[in-house]
Amino acid sequence: MWRRPGQLRLHLAAAAGAAGRGARRRNPLPPVPTVPSSSSSSSASTTTTRDLAAFARGSSSSSRSLSDRAGGGECWSCGASGAFLSCGSCGSVQPVDPAVDYFRIFGLEREYTIKDNNLEGKYKDWQKKLHPDLVHSKSEKERAFAAEQSALVIDAYRTLSKPLSRALYLLQLEGIPIDEEKTITDPELLMEMMEIREAVNDANDSQTLEKIQSQIKRKLETWSHSFQEAFERRDFDRAVKATQRMSLAEASSKRSLLNNA
């Protein structure tokens, strides 16, 4: 899914380490809940969260403003302080800083709800400064920096622009592992998802599929809100379960879209 599978883990580890040095938590993070196995659940009705684990492996003035807000170290070229992805003073592209998390790239608070409606605009502003095709006249060193930074910005935008990937990223930043062998054995949830899949398979017209899509969308919104509440309360048990439900709903949504193609 992502172009650089190892890049997300590298930035997660460095960003989490930087946050830990700035403020030590009074209590250790609670462990990720273990979903109990059920002898009554067959392997056919048990859905793994492998997809969740796989995720953790896809104008000049406005750009300058982004650089200033994001902060950073000293520019390697002119020595100006506050250099981030690109220097706000001389415009030189900076090397990748593994301690920078995706929220910081876009000047956002590290929280689930993105209050800034201009995420796409900020993404485009960075790409104007960093896209390899637009820095062909710079030195080989800067072109290499630009290629790495551009890939990082793309990953950051893709991650933060979607609720499920943003939720998973927040959990990773908090040090909550996603166990790819963990299974979902909630009978009520599994039955609900199976009914939706059967309805998708049986649908023979676009109008029916659109109704199913609306139903799935409402469920996604409900579970997304559940994640937000749990995350804000640092109830990571409930937050992880919410992402599992969001993942199942997204899979059902994709299935219905394929059937409607």
| pLDDT per residue as tens digits for the range 154-175 | 999 999 999 999 999 999 999 9
The predicted-structure confidence for 76-102, as pLDDT tens digits, reads as follows: 999 998 888 888 888 888 999 888 899
Which pTM was predicted? 0.70
> What burial class does residue 115 get, using C-beta atoms within 10 Å of its C-beta: 0-12 exposed, 13-18 middle, 19+ buried?
exposed
Q: What is the pLDDT of residue 19?
A: 45
| Cα 67 from Cα 89, distance rounded (Å) | 9
Asked if 152 and 105 touch (Cβ cutoff 8 Å), the reply is yes
Q: How many beta carbons lie within 10 A of that of residue 167, not counting itself?
A: 24
CB 140 within 8 A of CB 205: no
Q: For position 23, what pLDDT does the model report?
A: 39
Residue spans of the domains in the chain: they are 73-161, 187-260
Interior CA angle at 18 toward 12 and 24, to 5°? 115
Q: CA-based angle 68:73:76, to the nearest 5? A: 105
For residue 187, the model assigns a pLDDT of 84
Q: Is the pLDDT of residue 108 over 90?
A: yes
What average pLDDT does this structure show over 183-191?
A: 79
- The mean pLDDT of 39-64, rounded to a whole number, is 38
Among 3.40.50.1970, 1.10.260.40, 1.10.3720.10, 1.10.287.110, what is the CATH number of 73-161?
1.10.287.110
Under CATH, domain 187-260 is a member of which superfamily? HscB, C-terminal domain (1.20.1280.20)
